[in-house]
Amino acid sequence: MIALIGLPGSGKSTVGRQFARRLGLPFLDSDHVIEQRLGCSIREFFEREGEAAFRDVEESVIDELSQQHEGVLSTGGGVVLRPANRVHLRERGKVVYLRSSPEEVFRRLRHDQSRPLLQVADPLGRLRDLYAERDPLYRETAHFLLETGRPSVATLVNMIVMQLELAGVLPPKP
């Protein structure tokens, strides 16, 4: 399993889908798996049950997927908040941290109403806080770090493939 971690909006799902297609591997988005289990959106569950209840469900799903999934997994932005998730992802697969600055994420997400953590008066300030809290945890969990910046999705996929080939995780192309 190759897992993608990073801030909300760093490109985990979009890049993960293309990366899986490129490698001919199955793709899963842990947030979609969670929503299927819950029978509602993460945002609805968050509002009704709170973040701690959501993190409990997420931890259970990550434990299961990190043991069973043989492809590319994109994770929720807060997956690293639970120590068990960090351990399971790191020990059971290879983890790529798609590192985006809070400003870059804000530029991408400023019109997205579906992100519960960004429905606040100062979303950029919230992203800066999330980054300050989570960047050390992403770094602790990741085997590979990729600065996302502004390259295209295809370029990011190529960069991940190149890093994984150089590390011997993927066989080099003939």
> 57-110 pLDDT, tens per residue?
999 999 999 999 999 999 999 999 999 999 999 999 999 999 999 999 998 887
List the domain range (segments joined by +) for residue 73. Answer: 2-166
CATH number at residue 122: 3.40.50.300
Q: Is 9 annotated as a binding residue?
A: yes
Q: Is 82 annotated as a binding residue?
A: no
18-41 burial code (b ≥16 CB/10 A, e <16): bbbeebeeebbbbbebbbeebeee
pTM of full prediction above 0.85: yes
Q: Is residue 143 part of a domain?
A: yes
Q: Is residue 45 part of a domain?
A: yes
Q: Is 77 annotated as a binding residue?
A: yes
Q: Is 152 annotated as a binding residue?
A: no
Q: Is residue 173 part of a domain?
A: no
Gap between the Cα atoms of 40 and 32, Å rounded: 10
Q: Are 104 and 148 in contact (CB under 8 A)?
A: yes
pLDDT in tens, 4-56: 999 988 999 999 999 999 999 999 999 999 999 999 999 899 889 999 999 99
Q: Is residue 171 part of a domain?
A: no
What's the domain count of the chain?
A: 1
How many CB atoms are located within 10 Å of the residue 72 CB? 27
pLDDT over 70 at 117, yes or no: no
Q: Are 20 and 12 in contact (CB under 8 A)?
A: no
Q: Is 16 annotated as a binding residue?
A: no
Q: Is 60 annotated as a binding residue?
A: no
The token duo for 15 is: 């890049």
Q: Is residue 172 part of a domain?
A: no
Q: Are 144 and 95 in contact (CB under 8 A)?
A: yes
Q: Is 10 annotated as a binding residue?
A: yes
Q: Is 122 annotated as a binding residue?
A: no
Q: Is 13 annotated as a binding residue?
A: yes
Q: Is 43 annotated as a binding residue?
A: no
